[in-house]
Structure formats: structure tokens, C-alpha cells
């Protein structure tokens, strides 16, 4: 099964993050070949290499960038759920906010 969109510039993207094709495949396999956020295979075949955002990221070597790769997500989840600067603290705040709303509901 081809999980990557045919015209996706995979090699250029992998080089940007310091990953090889086997490493990319291993990450997807570790995730069960699905997005770890929505648990789907993107219908578009558009995967995103999710990484931790740090100051000076663009100046880091590919080897250092590889250390910051968190996983591979679908484009939608990366854009809307893991927006730039997402952290465990912010995710916990979102959970607390939603749980507080659920407690207030009639």
C-alpha cells in the first residue's frame, strides 16, 4: 500500500529533517501507518513530519533536526491540533478547559 501521495517531494522533505526513507517508514510503522492524532490514513496522502519548534531551528544541522522529530501526522492534524508551539503544558490546558466546560454543562 502506498501511503504517500505520488507527487509528494518526499526526498527533499526527508533531507530537510535529516531522515532517510527507511527512518520515515519506521516512524509510520511505529504509529501503525496512521496519524497518531486522528487515527486515520490521510485520504490525500499528505503526511507532515511533525517536530518540536525551537529557536534557531532553521540553522540546525539535519542531524540535530532529526532529534526534534516527534512523529508523522496528517496535514490536518498537524495544522489544526499541533500548531506551532504546541507543548504538553498547552495540551494539558486545553484538556482542563474542555473538562471544565463538561462539568458546567446542564
DSSP 62: H
- Of the two residues 7 and 59, the one the predictor is more confident about is 59
Residue 4 placed within a domain: no
User: Is residue 1 over pLDDT 70?
Assistant: no
Residue 18 placed within a domain: yes
Number of residues written out for the chain? 106
Residue 77 placed within a domain: yes
CATH of the domain at 44: 3.40.1800
pTM of the complete model: 0.75
Q: Which residues of 56-74 are buried (b: 16+ CB within 10 A; e: fewer)?
A: eeeeeeeeebbebbebbbb
Task: Phi first, then psi: give them for residue 94, nearest 5 degrees.
Answer: -65, -45
Q: What is the mean pLDDT of residues 21-48?
A: 92
Q: What is the mean pLDDT of residues 28-49?
A: 92
Residue 3 placed within a domain: no
Amino acid at each position: 500500500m502506498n501511503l504517500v501521495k505520488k507527487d509528494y517531494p518526499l526526498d527533499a522533505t526527508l533531507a530537510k529533517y535529516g531522515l532517510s526513507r527507511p527512518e520515515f517508514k519506521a516512524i509510520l510503522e511505529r504509529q501503525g501507518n496512521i496519524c497518531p492524532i486522528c487515527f486515520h490514513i490521510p485520504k490525500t496522502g499528505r503526511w507532515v513530519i511533525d517536530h518540536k519548534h525551537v529557536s534557531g531551528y532553521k540553522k540546525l544541522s539535519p542531524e540535530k533536526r532529526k532529534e526534534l522529530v516527534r512523529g508523522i501526522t496528517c496535514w490536518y492534524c498537524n495544522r489544526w491540533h499541533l500548531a506551532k508551539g504546541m507543548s504538553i503544558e498547552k495540551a494539558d490546558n486545553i484538556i482542563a478547559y474542555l473538562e471544565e466546560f463538561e462539568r458546567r454543562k446542564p
